[in-house]
A and B are shown apart, each in its own frame.
Chain A
Amino acid sequence: MLAIFPIGRACPSGQRARRLLVGIRAVICLALGSLSMPGQAVVPSPVATFDWTIAETLLALEVSPVAMGNIEAFHRWTAENYLDAHIIDLGVQTLPNLELLGLLMPEFALLPPRHRPYRRRLHGISNGILLDSYPYQGKPGDTWNGLIAFTKALGRIVDKEREAKTLIDDAEKRLASLSGRLDSVQPLMVVQLLDERHLRVYGKNSLFQAVLDQLDLKNAWQEATNDWGYAVIQIKTLFEFPDAMLVIIPGAFPVGIEDRLENSVIWSRVPSIEQGRVVVLPSSFWLAGGLPSAMRFAESLVDGLSAGGVRSAEPQTGGCQDCEFHR
């Protein structure tokens, strides 16, 4: 099926192209009178959620949610660790398919606070449980402790308290040992390029801030951020942080940006770039994820930093095989 989009195969957008193809296939199925879609095996499980952070943490607690929103993107953000889990796709997270959920009748539906409106509508299908301890709610506070409390709460709900405790303990132990591997203490700037003139910089309320705190690393960006912990800035703002180590998260790279940056005088004169203090991380964690994302971020960050910066820590999985951010 993918062969129709040969360009798409080399890049993550191929998966998006596939979503269009699923639509086309549906039309063809209908036209041919074969009224059946390739069915997925239903593995009965008591839990459904529309939220990646909850889903990721559930999977780490060895509970496979029966259904979830936007699975392709989920796999992309979770380093394809959970490809084997039999999860039914409920559609895009902002519009999860309630009719399909109604047919599946999961016992619980776990909802982050922003999905509060669904609770009443789920009445009669499933017991909607609102997770008040959800870490990303735009309230100022300690994100790491938020993650811990959230993981524990989730463990209680799905009756996996012991696993939750193990997950937390392992994470803290691992972070402590990772922290021991680092000797440089430059302040970091965790950024994500939006185009050749703008980037997101992550700070308070973000997953990354929480991990940096645990690793005893300093974040150079102490200014205000939004609910998911980032602010949008211009490249020239980087000049205000001449000592910072740039940590570049790929994720949503606009294609072709590398060439444009290569040719940009301003970019090459950003002190961190000029002096080669750059780490490029693979896209293996969700930007507002749970403990598993936090751990994958921590591992790749420490790998990158101890490799001496500059190069990408691992071969890229995304559309950015040959990013060269160094001079």
Chain B
Amino acid sequence: MMGQAMRAGSPALACWLLSLPLLLLFWLGLEAQGGLTLGLKALVLPSFEDVDQLLLHYAWWPRLAVALLAGGGLALAGVLMQQVLRNPLASPTTLGVASGANLALMASTLLAPGLLVFGREWVALAGGGLAVGLVFMLAWRRGLAPIVVVLAGLVVNLYLGALATALLLFNHESLSGLLIWGAGSLAQNGWDGVATLWPRLVIGAVLAWFLLRPLAVLELDDASAKSLGVSLKYLRFAGMGLAVFITASIVSVVGIIGFIGLAAPNIVRIAGARRLGERLFWGTLLGAVLLATTDLLLQNVTGVLPTLIPTGAVTGALGAPLLMWLIPRLKLQGNRAPQPATVLANRHPEPSRLATRLAIGLLLAVGLGLLLGQGVDGWYWLSPDDWSVMQWRVPRVLAAAASGLMLAVAGTLLQRLSANPMASPEVLGISGGCAIALILGIFLLPAPTSGMLVGVGTLGAFATLLILVALNRHSGFVPERLLLTGVAVSALFDAVRSVMLAGGDPRGQQVIAWLAGSTYYVDLTSAVVVGTLAALLALCTLPLTRWLDILPLGAATTRALGVGLNRARLVLLLLVALLTACATLVVGPLSFIGLLAPHMARLLGLSRAHHHLLGAALVGMLLMVLADWVGRQIIFPYEIPAGLVASLIGGAYFMWGLRRL
């Protein structure tokens, strides 16, 4: 039915069809609470002596109104961002608004609770604003070029997410209220949320209307747009600023709601809304319908469950299959303007000397990780033959190095394979798939042993790989589609994680510790196994460097040079999946090294494939070993997981490098 609507090319029809379930659920919801007439009476002329009417007036109706407003607003922001960044993957959560707001709330809960009394919305708004300000600052020198903005957003997102995880790890109980907010619960206690939201959304919509014509120019490429006398930088700033304002308002009221901002604009685009005005109008309507439908559905279902399932998490979970369905139908390149060349750095004159220096750095870091530590009486140097302490440190240093190596190599392969600087194993979703399987294993198996969990995790990684291959086989593994599949899996992972945390299950804390990427759980045997695997897999990439030199030149060139494109892509992908699965099992899915190490190697000036691989591998190992040591020592005896520290150290360097570009 929906397919026909799409072919008919009518976004109106698509919206109408998709809102039929909403009407049905609306009617069902009111029937369950005393009928349609009572419901309407409770809305307009409530009599508060009757508890049913009280609840309808102050809980049910405001919730519906907030769902419609938030859904519409997020979709509106999504359309704006996709237009400004010329990227169908851009969405309100991409630029760090949500994670900034989240971190601000957590930090103020812990360090300055007084601020929250002053107003939670303002804290969230300030956090979101600061995060986006950081993104803009990083991308300003490059004239807010779309690719740089998205990349900066991704890094800021990961960085703030890592900080939030660190806070959560140490203060799980105190932050339990925020976990519900973070998962996006739409439950309301009155009309306050609606009252806060609607004026801001009206302002946002009016401003969007004013920006309609100038923004349409962004469909041209940069040079043509400039020749029309438009200041791209300020136009982008205005468009993004507006989108951020809308998103931050919504996030501060209802929390983080995934996916609506990504899905709604893409659905109306597929349904035939081509011009910006159409997309804004229908996208907004559809976003409202989608979120309200999900929320009503959820209210009908969750009455029977012992845990709370927040709507924001569910939109993420439902959105993932939707996005997978959309992927083959998206025109990714289509009539989009050609992009300027991506991030490049100068080539280093003597790559081998640089590599030697990195290797020496790595050795020093290993020495530090093994020998310097703290005991009951403070710092001390360990003698290398003291096995009673060494037995704890050797596996961790080894595992850190191995996972750094694997993630760095996987990231390098992906980035060269897709010619996309945003590519990384985390982004491809293999880590996420592995993590979903592990979380489900921990929660559903009666007595999970570590052996069982390893099996479950590997299964998850391979299931994700199968999905990736099945969805992309026909298109011949076009990199952008592949990444989109990854985004979908990651969204599903976020949803699973949010539901787990919001439900407040005690096992959640253990899962957070693992998700944060610690080498803590590795013993000597598994460290040796992982180390050997890492070395073997890394060696496997060496014969493939010719492909890696050629693939970034584009599909046509690659074929012309006689490389079987599909076969090369499939082999490299398999290798990436294996590397990622192994590394994820050790340090969790959020380590960030797969994105950073290849970039840092690039920034250092290593651009030929084999230099790039070697450099990335060394940087990855160095980073992870250092991160592991710092994490073990900095607030001894408390431990910060290596993955987190790596994100924090590496992320800071990365932002600095990005700013310099």
Residues 92-117 (chain A) with a chain B CB within 8 angstroms = 92-95, 97-100, 102-104, 114, 117
Q: Given A13-B174, A23-B634, A26-B634, answer yes or no on A196-B189 (Cβ-Cβ < 8 Å).
A: yes
**For the complex, is A185 an interface residue (Cβ under 8 Å from B)?**
no
B376 pairs with A42, CB closer than 8 A: yes
A30 pairs with B51, CB closer than 8 A: no
B638 pairs with A91, CB closer than 8 A: yes
Q: Which residues of A contact B176 (CB under 8 A)?
A: 194, 252
**For the complex, is B388 an interface residue (Cβ under 8 Å from A)?**
yes
Q: Which residues of A contact B180 (CB under 8 A)?
A: 194-195, 198, 232
B639 pairs with A92, CB closer than 8 A: yes
Count contacts on A: residues with CB < 8 A to the other chain.
81
Q: Which residues of B contact A224 (CB under 8 A)?
A: 306
Query: Which candidate, A175-183, A211-219, A263-271, A299-307, is the interface stretch facing chain B?
Result: A263-271
Q: How far is the CB of A272 from chain B (nearest CB, A)?
A: 13
Q: How far is the CB of B187 from chain A (nearest CB, A)?
A: 4
A35 pairs with B116, CB closer than 8 A: no
Q: Given A26-B633, A266-B54, answer yes or no on A13-B378 (Cβ-Cβ < 8 Å).
A: no
Query: Which candidate, B165-173, B456-464, B581-589, is the interface stretch facing chain A?
Result: B165-173
Q: Which residues of B contact A234 (CB under 8 A)?
A: 59, 187, 308
Which of B120, B177, B633, B639 contacts A194, CB < 8 Å? B177
Nearest opposing residue in chain A for B395, CB measure: A121
**For the complex, is A255 an interface residue (Cβ under 8 Å from B)?**
yes
Q: How far is the CB of B253 from chain A (nearest CB, A)?
A: 12
Residues 507-564 (chain B) with a chain A CB within 8 angstroms = 507, 509-510, 512-513, 518, 520-521, 523
B58 pairs with A265, CB closer than 8 A: yes
Q: How far is the CB of B520 from chain A (nearest CB, A)?
A: 5
Q: Which residues of A contact B192 (CB under 8 A)?
A: 263
Q: Which residues of B contact A104 (CB under 8 A)?
A: 376
Q: Which residues of A contact B306 (CB under 8 A)?
A: 223-226, 231
A91 pairs with B639, CB closer than 8 A: yes
Q: How far is the CB of A72 from chain B (nearest CB, A)?
A: 10
A99 pairs with B634, CB closer than 8 A: no
Contact with B along A43-61 (1 / 0, CB 8 A): 0000000000000000000
Q: Given A194-B176, A252-B173, answer yes or no on A94-B637 (Cβ-Cβ < 8 Å).
A: no
**For the complex, is A88 an interface residue (Cβ under 8 Å from B)?**
yes
Contact with B along A206-250 (1 / 0, CB 8 A): 000000000000000001111110111111100100000000000
Q: How far is the CB of A181 from chain B (nearest CB, A)?
A: 31
Q: Given A16-B171, A255-B113, A269-B54, answer yes or no on A102-B376 (Cβ-Cβ < 8 Å).
A: no
**For the complex, is A19 an interface residue (Cβ under 8 Å from B)?**
yes
Query: Which candidate, A4-12, A162-170, A290-298, A309-317, is the interface stretch facing chain B?
Result: A4-12
Residues 604-651 (chain B) with a chain A CB within 8 angstroms = 632-639, 641
**For the complex, is A17 an interface residue (Cβ under 8 Å from B)?**
yes
B377 pairs with A36, CB closer than 8 A: yes
Nearest opposing residue in chain A for B178, CB measure: A254
The CA of A40 and the CA of B376, in the complex, are separated in Å by 7
Q: Given A39-B376, A259-B117, answer yes or no on A227-B639 (Cβ-Cβ < 8 Å).
A: no
Nearest opposing residue in chain A for B105, CB measure: A254
Residues 98-116 (chain B) with a chain A CB within 8 angstroms = 109-114, 116
A239 pairs with B392, CB closer than 8 A: no
Q: How far is the CB of B152 from chain A (nearest CB, A)?
A: 27
Interface range on chain B: under 10, 10 to 19, 20 to 34, or 35 or more? 35 or more
Q: Given A26-B636, A36-B377, A40-B376, answer yes or no on A98-B503 (Cβ-Cβ < 8 Å).
A: no
B379 pairs with A36, CB closer than 8 A: yes
**For the complex, is A22 an interface residue (Cβ under 8 Å from B)?**
yes
Q: Given A37-B377, A233-B308, A265-B190, answer yes or no on A228-B506 (Cβ-Cβ < 8 Å).
A: yes
Which of A17, A90, A232 contacts B504, CB < 8 Å? A232
**For the complex, is B185 an interface residue (Cβ under 8 Å from A)?**
yes
A8 pairs with B373, CB closer than 8 A: no
The CA of A136 and the CA of B449, in the complex, are separated in Å by 19
Q: How far is the CB of A65 from chain B (nearest CB, A)?
A: 15
A195 pairs with B177, CB closer than 8 A: yes
Q: Given A99-B373, A198-B308, A231-B307, answer yes or no on A254-B109 (Cβ-Cβ < 8 Å).
A: yes
**For the complex, is A319 an interface residue (Cβ under 8 Å from B)?**
yes
Q: Given A16-B171, A37-B374, A89-B637, answer yes or no on A227-B111 (Cβ-Cβ < 8 Å).
A: no
Which of A19, A233, A254 contacts B116, CB < 8 Å? A254
A226 pairs with B504, CB closer than 8 A: yes
Nearest opposing residue in chain B for A239, CB measure: B51
Which of B48, B391, B392, B637 contacts A91, CB < 8 Å? B637
B181 pairs with A195, CB closer than 8 A: yes
**For the complex, is A256 an interface residue (Cβ under 8 Å from B)?**
yes
A256 pairs with B120, CB closer than 8 A: yes
Q: How far is the CB of B57 from chain A (nearest CB, A)?
A: 9
**For the complex, is A2 an interface residue (Cβ under 8 Å from B)?**
no
B117 pairs with A255, CB closer than 8 A: yes
Nearest opposing residue in chain A for B52, CB measure: A239
Q: Which residues of A contact B375 (CB under 8 A)?
A: 100, 103
Which of A5, A13, A198 contacts B109, CB < 8 Å? A13
Q: How far is the CB of A129 from chain B (nearest CB, A)?
A: 18
B59 pairs with A97, CB closer than 8 A: no
The CA of A232 and the CA of B181, in the complex, are separated in Å by 13
Interface pairs A-B: 4 shortest CB-CB: A255-B113, A36-B378, A23-B635, A35-B379
Could you give 14 example pairs across A and B, Cβ below 8 Å? A29-B379, A35-B379, A37-B374, A37-B377, A95-B641, A99-B389, A100-B637, A194-B176, A198-B177, A200-B504, A227-B505, A231-B306, A252-B173, A252-B174
